[in-house]
Structure 1
Amino acid sequence: MDLLSLRYFREVARREHISRAARELRVAQPSVSRTIARLEAELGVPLFDRQGRTIRLNRYGAAFLVRVERALSELDDGRRELADAAGLDDGSVAVAAETLLPLTELLAGFRAAHPGVTVRCLQSTPEVMREQLRAREVDFCVASQPLAGPGLGAVRLLREEVLLVVAAGHPLAARERVTVAEIADEPFITTRTGHWQRALLERLFSKIGRRPIISCEGDEPGATHFLVAAGLGIGLIPALARAELPQVPLAWLHLDTPDCVRTLSLVRREDSYLSTAAARFRDMAVAHFAARGRRTRPGEEPGRR
Structure 2
Amino acid sequence: MDLLSLRYFREVARREHISRAAEELRVAQPSVSRTIARLEAELGVRLFDRQGRAIRLNRHGAAFLTRVERALDELDDARREMADAAGLDDGSLAVAAETLLPLTELLAAFRAAHPGVTLRCLQSTPEVMRAQLRARDVDFCFASQPLSGPGLGAVRLLREEVLLAVPAGHPLAARERVTVAEIADEPFITTRQGNWQRALLERLFTAIGRRPVISCEGDEPGATHFLIAAGLGIGLIPALARPELPHVPLAWLHLDTPDCVRTLDLVRREDSYLSTAARRFRAMAVAHFAAREHPARPGQETGAG
TM-score (norm. length: structure 1) = 0.95
Amino acid at match of 2:122: L
1:77, CA displacement in angstroms? 0.1
Following the alignment from structure 1 to structure 2, what is the Cα–Cα distance between the partners of residues 69 and 219? 32
Report the Cα offset of residue 296 of structure 1. Answer: 8.7
Q: Is the 8 A contact 1:13 1:65 kept in 2?
A: yes
Q: Which residue of 2 aligns with 1:117?
A: 117
* Matches of 1:151 and 1:226, distance apart in 2: 40
Partner of 1:155, secondary structure, is strand
Measured after TM superposition, the shift of residue 21 of structure 1 is 1.1
Q: Report the equivalent of 1:253.
A: 253
Give, in whole Å, the separation in 1 of the partners of 2:33 and 2:210: 52
Distance 2:99 2:129 in 1: 12
Residue 263 of structure 1 corresponds to 263
Contact 1:188/1:212 (CA < 8 Å) preserved in 2? Answer: yes
Amino acid in structure 1 at the alignment position of 2:97: A
Query: Any conservation in 2 of the 1:164–1:255 contact (CA below 8 Å)?
Result: yes
- In the other structure, the counterpart of 1:33 is 33
CA distance in 1: counterparts of 2:282 and 2:9, whole angstroms: 32
Task: Report the CA distance shift for 1:156/1:249 in structure 2 as closer, same or farther (over 3 A).
Answer: same
For 1:154, the aligned partner's letter is: A
Aligned length: 297
Partner residue in 2 for 1:78:
78
C-alpha distance in structure 1 between counterparts of 2:60 and 2:219, whole Å: 36
Note if 1:132 corresponds to 2:107: no
User: Kindly tell me: are residues 63 and 3 of structure 1, through their superposed partners in 2, closer, same or farther at Cα, counting changes over 3 Å?
Assistant: same
Amino acid at match of 1:255: L
Q: Which amino acid aligns with 2:32?
A: V
Deviation by residue 1:274-301 (Cα, 9 ceiling, x = unmatched): 000000000000000000011298xxxx
RMSD (CA atoms): 1.2
Counterpart contact for 1:240–1:296, Cα < 8 Å: no
Deviation at 1:260, TM superposition (A): 0.4
Unaligned regions of 5+ residues in structure 1, if any? 298-305
d(CA) in 2 for partners of 1:142, 1:78: 25
The aligned runs of 1:212-251 (5 Å cut-off) are 212-251=212-251
- Aligned residues of 1:93 and 1:277 also touching (Cα < 8 A): yes
Residue of structure 1 equivalent to 2:168: 168
Higher mean displacement: 30-39 or 54-63: 54-63
Could you list the structure 1 runs, at least 4 aligned residues long, displaced by more than 3 angstroms after superposition: none
Q: Please give the alpha-carbon distance, in whole angstroms, between the structure 1 residues aligned to 2:295 and 2:197.
A: 23
The one-letter amino acid paired with 1:100 is: L
Report what 2:11 is aligned to. 11
Question: Which residue of structure 2 aligns with residue 95 of structure 1?
Answer: 95
Alignment identity in percent?
Answer: 89
Amino acid at match of 1:118: T
TM-score relative to the length of structure 2: 0.95
1:104-133: CA deviations, max 9, x gaps?
000000000111111111111111111111
Code of the residue aligned with 1:110 in structure 2: it is F
The verdict on how the C-alpha distance between 1:225 and 1:203 changes in structure 2, with shifts beyond 3 A counting, is: same
SS in 2 for 1:14: helix
Aligned-residue offset at 1:88: 3.4
Q: Residue 69 of structure 2: SS of its match in structure 1?
A: helix
User: Which amino acid counterpart does residue 261 of structure 1 have in structure 2?
Assistant: V
Q: Which whole-Å CA distance do the structure 2 matches of 1:132 and 1:167 have between them? A: 38
Distance 1:190 1:296, change over 3 A: farther
One-letter amino acid matched to 1:151: G
Partner in structure 2 of residue 181 of structure 1 = 181
The residue that corresponds to 1:303 in the other structure is none
Counterpart code for 1:294: H
2:273 matched residue in structure 1: 273
Give the whole-Å Cα distance in 2 for the aligned partners of 1:59 and 1:168: 60
Q: Check the 8 A contact 1:77/1:273 in 2, yes or no.
A: yes
